[in-house]
């Protein structure tokens, strides 16, 4: 399934880029000027817009889905209008757009560094209990994102046979069961001992994931238990900050992201980190 979708999406991008390159070449042959910079802006902008269109058909609608198009549309505009943006309001707009992209790139670099550093801290963690943070389920089936988290948790539990696992998540819109119950069912069906798995089924956000799961761990093991949590790699940093804010000393264990959502999730997470920083939560 993964390989087939990779090929389909790759084919779409190759076709789009090929058509744009061919179009730019024909445009130049007809005597029109079109610089390499404008060609780059056009191709990158259209690719980002197409990426949003593709992901919107494969994923639940959220901020991360539309952000590539949000960054792509101004690039297409620059590609088409740049030669005329040398005076007046258009000149101001050109430098305003350039300034916004410069700030955005700086934010991406800083946030990317924080995400990479946080996701590498859990490589050799020793824990008595791990918390798996919930994500959306389709009906009563876990999504690819949640599968990756659960598979990572199961691998850890197999390597640490004395560790328990808390799968945390309530029931959201479009879900016929709680995320916690769907996650426990997935793990038990794959041979995990259900006595080592505790389903937390009330949490509606990351703060409640940690707060409710910590109460279960305290009752099952005691307040001195060593705790780790499993979430998708891009989310480890912000989730860790939430854990600290709730008084939970936990190290993040990263799970792989779904490949076609990596750009969208990265952009959305950058926005999330900025919001948390502005609120003083980081």
Alpha-carbon gap, residue 103 to 20, rounded angstroms: 28
pLDDT at 187: 96
85-142 residue pLDDT tens: 988 899 999 999 999 999 999 999 999 999 999 988 877 888 999 999 998 888 888 8
pLDDT at 258: 85
Give me the residues of the chain with pLDDT under 70, please: 1-3, 5
Which helix (H) or strand (E) covers residue 32, if one does? none
pLDDT at 113: 96
3 state SS of 230: strand
Instruction: Collect all residues with Cβ–Cβ distance below 8 Å to 210 and sequence separation of at least 6.
Output: 131, 229, 242, 243, 246, 248, 250
Question: Of 49, 188, 78, nearest to 86 (Cα)?
Answer: 78
Alpha-carbon gap, residue 51 to 182, rounded angstroms: 30
């Amino acid at each position: 399934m993964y390989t087939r979708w990779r090929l389909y999406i790759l084919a779409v991008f190759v076709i789009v880029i090929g058509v744009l390159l061919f179009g730019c070449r024909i445009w130049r042959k007809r005597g029109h000027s079109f610089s390499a910079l404008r060609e780059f802006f056009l191709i990158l902008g259209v690719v980002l817009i197409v990426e949003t269109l593709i992901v919107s058909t494969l994923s639940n609608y959220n901020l991360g889905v539309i952000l590539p198009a949000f960054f792509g549309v101004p690039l297409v505009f620059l590609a088409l209008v740049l030669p005329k943006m040398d005076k007046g309001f258009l000149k101001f707009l050109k430098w305003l757009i350039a300034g916004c992209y410069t700030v955005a790139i700086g934010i991406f670099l800083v946030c990317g560094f924080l995400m990479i550093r946080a996701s590498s801290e859990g490589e050799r963690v020793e824990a008595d209990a791990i918390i798996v943070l919930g994500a959306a389920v389709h009906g009563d089936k876990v999504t690819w994102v949640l599968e990756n988290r659960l598979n990572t948790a199961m691998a850890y539990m197999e390597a640490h046979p004395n560790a328990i696992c808390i799968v945390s998540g309530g029931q959201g819109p479009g879900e016929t069961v709680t995320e916690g119950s769907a996650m426990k069912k997935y793990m038990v069906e794959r041979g995990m001992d259900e006595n080592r798995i505790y389903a937390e089924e009330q949490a509606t956000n990351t703060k409640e994931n940690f707060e409710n799961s910590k109460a279960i761990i305290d009752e099952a093991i005691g307040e001195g238990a060593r705790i780790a949590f499993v979430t998708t790699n891009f989310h480890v940093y912000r989730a860790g900050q939430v854990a600290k804010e709730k008084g939970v000393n936990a190290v993040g264990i990263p799970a792989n992201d779904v490949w076609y959502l990596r750009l969208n999730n990265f952009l959305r997470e950058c926005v999330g980190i900025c919001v948390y920083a502005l609120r003083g939560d980081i």
